Amino acid sequence: MLFKHRTTKFHVDMGDLDSEKENLTNFLLVHLKVSVSQGTDKLTVESENLSLQDLEHVVNKFVYHRDLNGTHWVSTEKSTVKINRFKERKKKRRQEKEPPHQTAAQSWGL
């Protein structure tokens, strides 16, 4: 017990991506080779030599691989990596102006 390895626990908050929980679990197992357990709304990652930045990098990689980077982004808070959804912006549509009508004289160069 004198030299007990200290395991660190990190959490991954899935946000509104609960359907991707199993896919992220497999992705973390393959890329980080760590123990991952699923909770009700979070994944718990336990490792002896994993940093929060490494976990964030791999979760960000997962978001890109699943083509979710247009709708989601990854952030960190304390020991939690969180997958957030972009807020919808109200797009202002520009009223398209009709091109000016050419007269016969303009089209012939007169």
Domains of the chain: 8-85 (3.30.1360.210)
Convert the pLDDT of each residue in 27-46 to its tens digit: 999 999 899 999 888 999 99
CA–CA distances in Å: residue 3 to residues 6, 9, 41, 93: 9, 19, 34, 64
Half-sphere exposure of 39 (CA within 13 A, CB side): 11
Residues near 58 by Cβ (< 8 Å), separated by ≥ 6? 27, 28, 31, 32
Convert the pLDDT of each residue in 76-92 to its tens digit: 999 999 999 998 765 66
Convert the pLDDT of each residue in 3-21 to its tens digit: 667 889 999 999 899 899 9
| Tokens 């020991």 belong to residue | 79
**Alpha-carbon span 93 to 5, nearest angstrom:** 58
* 8 A C-beta contact, residue 32 and residue 101: no
